[in-house]
């Protein structure tokens, strides 16, 4: 019946609205009939183990679930579930009689606006990445937490699919080198699981297991009227959706890195962290990214097992190894540092810090954001300032212990603040650097005006505040100057030189 129904639905007369050229997109689990103004998604009557659409009642249920879940992020895209009456050869949409099938009705959008296509054309911008970080971060803060007594809210449930990857991939490999690599990845995964078990339990206890999207990648994000929109949540399998929010975010980070967009992946992760404040997630991020990469590798291994054409097999094998190598990269021993900025407000500290995020994978900790997270009604009292720096240093310790370099984006105009940061670096055994950020007053005034015009920056500083800071700041002492690098933040060449100097000192080659 299904093929006859899809053929019949390519007749414009079947629709109560004007249509354009009708096309059909087919996946392994559904058909999507594109009519011009609307798209109609019909689930295939298939059973793959992880989903079962063989019964009409199940297809109706999962259409309704897909509508419910996706309206959280794309309410104007997902419209309604429609019964289809009549016969397969003469279907009637919205028929009140006995349904023969169900369709999920959606607003249609251009496939060339998918972010995967935008990226393939070289048009994916930092603004798109920032929008993804904001939307996903806000979504993760709002989506319901899984109850603590739920069977999926346990460390064992979190790591079970990680272990399953190795069980399912190993029988499909024929090359000894691939098997050796998989064995090493499995050993690293197991040792990471054992080391991180207390953190996994903490994630469950504190409600980090939530009803997430489950399939966050550029192919499931699009532009509608120039705005980024996420769609196609996983509706058919709860264990794929009721997951740690950090695992959900890690999927997109991994997808960006797989596409060679390492700097933008780092930008996304930092934006997500700043939005959610979930810095505890850093300890699990590489494990989750490796897991997500191995899921993609596994899918290619399955395809390889089914494909007979030697040319296509070679292409699939390259994709498997690309994902396996990406997973392996997350097991590398990290190179860490702790850098603090020093300078008045609006001098360009955040811009310099973001360059370090994109160049080295550093975690940027911003005093303006953490101050408002801690005390939104008492921002600039002495107590609020002390609490803010204490928070920055606690987060720095967390990120450094999780294996990430850190840059603390704050004024650090007091010696006691800088000494505390240095103590964190000493405790964690990492290099410490003070970036003395400088720019002419005229440039600072211009940047302040731009900030206030856009309203996008978390800082509330004015030129009066800047002048007061310039008067009251405590200059760097001789012993601090040894660990100091001065940066003219308005000069791109100076920032480029800073990145080169840090890379040389760390012995990195990225």
CATH number at residue 285: 3.90.1200.10
Name the residue among 363, 361, 365 with its Cα closest to residue 388.
365
Give the per-residue pLDDT at 505. Answer: 82
Which of 79, 108, 137 represents a domain boundary (last residue)?
108
Mention every residue, 6+ apart, whose C-beta is less than 8 A from residue 197: 155
The residue count for the chain: 510
Answer yes or no: is pLDDT of 509 > 60: no
Dist. CA 291–CA 498, nearest whole Å:
34
Full 3-state SS string of 303-322:
HHHHCCCHHHHHHHHHHHHH
Q: CA-to-CA distance for 45 and 61, rounded, in angstroms?
A: 13
Residues 343 and 318 in one domain: no
CA–CA separation, 275 and 282 (whole Å): 14
**Shared-domain flag, residues 148 and 190:** yes
101, pLDDT greater than 60: yes
CB 324 within 8 A of CB 304: no
- Name the percent of the chain in helix, strand, coil, to the closest 5: 55, 15, 30
End-to-end CA distance of the chain: 55
Phi and psi at 12, nearest 5°, equal: -55, -25
The token pair that represents 152 in the structure block: 């999926």
- What is residue 285's predicted lDDT score, i.e. its pLDDT? 97
- What is the percentage of the chain residues whose pLDDT exceeds 90? 85
Buried b (16+ CB within 10 A) or exposed e, 177-216: ebeebbeebbebbeebbeebeebbeebbeeebbbbbbbbb
For residues 134-146, average pLDDT: 97
Please, which pLDDT band fits residue 163 given cuts at 50, 70 and 90? very high
Which pLDDT band holds residue 457 (cuts at 50, 70, 90)? Answer: confident
Do 120 and 70 lie in one domain? The reply is: no
Structural domain ending residue among the three candidates 265, 294, 329: 329
What is the mean pLDDT of the segment spanning 97-116?
94
Same domain, 98 and 78: yes
Query: Across the chain, what does the average pLDDT equal?
Result: 93
pLDDT digits (tens, 9 = 90+) for 49-67: 888 999 999 999 999 999 9
Taking the C-alpha atoms of residue 269 and residue 311, their distance in angstroms, rounded to an integer, is: 37
What's the half-sphere exposure (Cβ side, CA atoms, 13 Å) at 411?
22
* Domains in the chain, number: 3
* Centroid of chain to Cα 278: 13
Whether residues 121 and 190 share a domain: the answer is yes
pLDDT of residue 70 exceeding 50: yes
Do 273 and 139 have their domain in common?
Answer: yes
Please identify, among 108, 142, 165, the residue that sits at the C-terminal boundary of a domain: 108
Query: 């008067």: which residue's tokens?
Result: 471
User: Do 393 and 254 sit in the same domain of this protein?
Assistant: no
Query: Distance between CA 459 and CA 346 in Å, rounded?
Result: 8
Q: What is the mean pLDDT of residues 136-165?
A: 96
Q: What is the model's pLDDT at position 219?
A: 96
pLDDT of res. 56: 95
Residues 257 and 296 reside in one and the same domain: yes
Q: Which long-range contacts (CB under 8 A, 24 or more apart) does 12-17 make?
A: 14/91, 14/92, 14/93, 15/93, 16/93, 16/94
E strand or H helix at 423: helix 415-428
In three-state secondary structure terms, 42 is strand
Structure confidence at residue 129 (pLDDT)? 98
Query: 3-state SS string over 246-304?
Result: HHHHHHHHHHHHHCCCHHHHHHHHHHHHHHHCCHHHHHHHHHHHHHHHHHHHHHHHHHH
Alpha-carbon distance of 113 to 155, in angstroms, equals 38
Q: Which CATH number covers residue 46?
A: 3.30.200
With 50 as the cut, is the pLDDT of residue 263 above it? yes
- Lowest mean pLDDT of 113-122, 363-372, 405-414, 461-470, name the range: 461-470
**255 lies in the same domain as 274:** yes
Q: Could you tell me if 319 and 300 are in contact, meaning their C-beta atoms sit under 8 angstroms apart?
A: yes
Q: Which of 301, 330, 313 is nearest to 178 (CA)?
A: 301
The span from the CA of 454 to the CA of 443, in Å, is 17
- Same domain for 37 and 135, yes or no, is no
> Which CATH number do you get for residue 432?
3.40.50.300
* pLDDT bucket at 297, cuts 50 / 70 / 90: very high
Does residue 500 share a domain with residue 371?
yes
Share above pLDDT 70 across residues of the chain, in percent, rounded to a whole number: 99
Q: What is the pLDDT of residue 378?
A: 75
| Same domain membership, residue 166 and residue 18 | no
Which of 165-179, 242-256, 448-462, 494-508 bottoms out in mean pLDDT, i.e. has the lowest? 448-462
**Cβ 144 vs Cβ 68: under 8 Å:** no
Q: Which of 218, 194, 185 is nearest to 330 (CA)?
A: 185
Predicted confidence at residue 1, as pLDDT, reads: 57
Residue 46, domain extent: 2-108
pLDDT for the residue numbered 510: 43
| Residue 507 pLDDT grade (very low, low, confident, very high; cuts 50, 70, 90) | low
Radius of gyration of the CA atoms of the chain, in A: 26
In angstroms, rounded to a whole number, what is the distance separating the alpha carbons of residues 367 and 467?
A: 19
């Amino acid at each position: 019946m299904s093929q006859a129904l899809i053929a019949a639905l390519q007749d414009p007369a079947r629709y109560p609205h004007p249509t354009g050229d009708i096309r059909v997109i087919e996946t392994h689990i559904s058909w999507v009939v594109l009519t011009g103004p609307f798209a109609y998604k019909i689930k295939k009557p298939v059973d793959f183990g992880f989903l079962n659409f063989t019964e009409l009642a199940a297809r109706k249920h999962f259409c309704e679930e897909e509508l419910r879940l996706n309206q959280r992020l794309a309410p104007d895209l997902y419209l309604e579930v429609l019964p289809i009456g009549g016969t397969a050869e003469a279907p009637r949409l919205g028929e009140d009689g006995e349904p023969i099938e169900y369709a999920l009705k959606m607003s249609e959008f251009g496939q060339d606006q998918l972010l995967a296509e935008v990226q393939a054309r070289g048009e994916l911008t930092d603004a798109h990445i920032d929008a993804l970080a904001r939307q996903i971060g806000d979504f993760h803060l709002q989506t319901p937490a899984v109850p603590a007594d739920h069977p999926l809210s346990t460390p064992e449930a979190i790591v079970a699919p990680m272990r399953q990857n190795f069980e399912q991939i190993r029988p499909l490999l024929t090359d000894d080198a691939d098997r050796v690599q998989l064995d090493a990845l499995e050993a690293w995964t197991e040792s990471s699981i054992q080391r991180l078990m207390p953190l996994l339990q903490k994630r469950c206890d504190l409600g980090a297991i939530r009803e997430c999207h489950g399939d966050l990648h550029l192919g499931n994000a699009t532009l509608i009227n120039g705005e980024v929109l996420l769609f196609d949540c996983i509706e058919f399998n709860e264990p794929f959706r009721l997951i740690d929010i950090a695992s959900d975010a890690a999927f997109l980070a991994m997808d960006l890195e797989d596409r060679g967009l390492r700097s933008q992946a780092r930008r996304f992760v930092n934006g997500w962290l700043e939005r959610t404040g979930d810095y505890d997630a850093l300890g699990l991020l590489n494990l989750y990214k490796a897991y997500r990469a191995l899921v993609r590798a596994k899918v290619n291994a399955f395809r390889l097992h089914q494909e007979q054409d030697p040319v296509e097999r070679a292409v699939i094998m390259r994709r498997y190894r690309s994902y396996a190598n990406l997973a392996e990269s997350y097991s590398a021993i990290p190179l860490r540092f702790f850098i603090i900025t020093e300078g008045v407000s609006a001098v360009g500290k955040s811009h310099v810090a973001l360059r370090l995020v994109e160049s080295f994978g550093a975690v940027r900790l911003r005093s303006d954001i953490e101050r408002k997270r801690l005390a939104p009604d008492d921002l600039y009292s002495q107590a609020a300032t002390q609490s803010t720096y204490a928070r920055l240093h606690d987060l720095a310790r967390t990120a450094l212990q999780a294996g990430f370099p850190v840059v603390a984006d704050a004024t650090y105009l007091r010696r006691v603040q800088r000494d505390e940061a240095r103590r964190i670096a000493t405790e964690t055994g990492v290099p410490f650097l003070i970036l003395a950020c400088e720019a002419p007053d005229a440039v600072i005034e211009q940047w302040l005006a731009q900030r206030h015009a856009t309203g996008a920056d978390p800082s509330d500083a004015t030129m009066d505040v800047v002048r007061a800071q310039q008067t009251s700041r405590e200059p760097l002492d001789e012993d601090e100057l040894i660990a100091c690098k001065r940066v003219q933040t308005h000069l791109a060449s100076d920032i480029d030189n800073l990145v080169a100097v840090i890379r040389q000192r760390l012995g990195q080659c990225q």
